[in-house]
Structure 1
């Protein structure tokens, strides 16, 4: 049996591993070191990593505004289909709830049904489409309402 994944805050020491994964996960849309260094320094932004069997298995980040935004989510190909994406998202959603965020938004590739299904299982519902957002591929905008009045596509489901 393998060790349980460990989720912890991203540290500057993680950036080499994160930057090794960026082009694998995001191709020409990969972020560079300067972008991550800036992101880690912005108040209200939180980034986490997940370690599995002593390796960085993935990472994710959120902007904790009233209408929070998932900034990035990535799981290394060798660590997929093991619940790491769900664990990362759950950690970000827990932070959003603790910060009092009303809603959480994200963009997901329109041609990635696996990621869309993960987000839907966490309570996100589609609210729009951004044409050509990902190097020519459309993005679906999804929202999860955490609190407050108004219509919701779905509510957060505890896992």
Structure 2
């Protein structure tokens, strides 16, 4: 087994958040990055590698608290650069977010994933996640505030 050539850090600056935009679904905005960092319970973990200048992976998590359940971690988004897949980075990011959730007193962690997204399902299973029950529907509301 070879030594890992990547490591994980938590983003703490707007520059780090915006600098990971190649891993997001679209471009990052500074004002949204500022709001993200200022919001308690919002986390962005970045994977960095010795052979890359910018981050090669990211996971975002949001702590959600409900009056009758306590606090859980919602794994909002996971992404790994195509050039760095199949190195365990995705699983490492999920493991690191789960560790952060435990350290912050969360009772569990969950994620919504498309039933046909086999790479994501395999990553979550490898990190100890298990699917419970039949697939669920995800109703969405779209408001006119997002570009």
TM range (shorter): 0.7 to 0.9
Alpha-carbon offset, residue 106 of structure 1? 0.5
Q: Which has the higher strand share?
A: 1
Q: How far apart are the structure 2 equivalents of 1:36 and 1:84?
A: 23
- 1:132-147 equivalence runs, <5 A: none
In the superposition, relative to structure 1, how do residues 111 and 37 fare at CA in structure 2: closer, same or farther (>3 Å)?
farther
- Cα distance, 1:15–1:103 mapped onto 2, change above 3 Å: closer
1:109 to 2:114 alignment: yes
Q: Is the contact made by 2:23 and 2:58 (CA closer than 8 Å) also made in structure 1?
A: no
1:62 aligned partner: 61
Question: Under a length normalisation based on structure 1, what TM-score does the superposition of the two structures give?
Answer: 0.69
Paired position in structure 2 for 1:137 = none
Q: 1:87 — aligned with what?
A: 92
Indicate the residue corresponding to 1:130 in structure 2. Answer: 137
Compute the TM-score of the two structures, normalised by the length of structure 2: 0.74
Aligned residue number for residue 41 of structure 1: 38
Cα-Cα RMSD: 2.3
How many residues get paired?
127
2:8–2:93 Cα contact (<8 Å) kept: yes
Gaps of 5+ in 1: 134-159
SS of alignment partner, residue 109 of structure 1: coil
| Distance change (3 Å), C-alpha of 1:18 and 1:67 | same
Runs of 4+ off more than 4 Å: none
- For the pair 1:51 / 2:56, whether they are aligned, the reply is no
Structure 2 distance, partners of 1:2, 1:52, is: 12
Worse overlay, 8-17 or 61-70: 8-17
Q: Give 5+ residue unaligned stretches, structure 2.
A: 65-70, 141-147
Change (3 A) 1:2 1:108: same
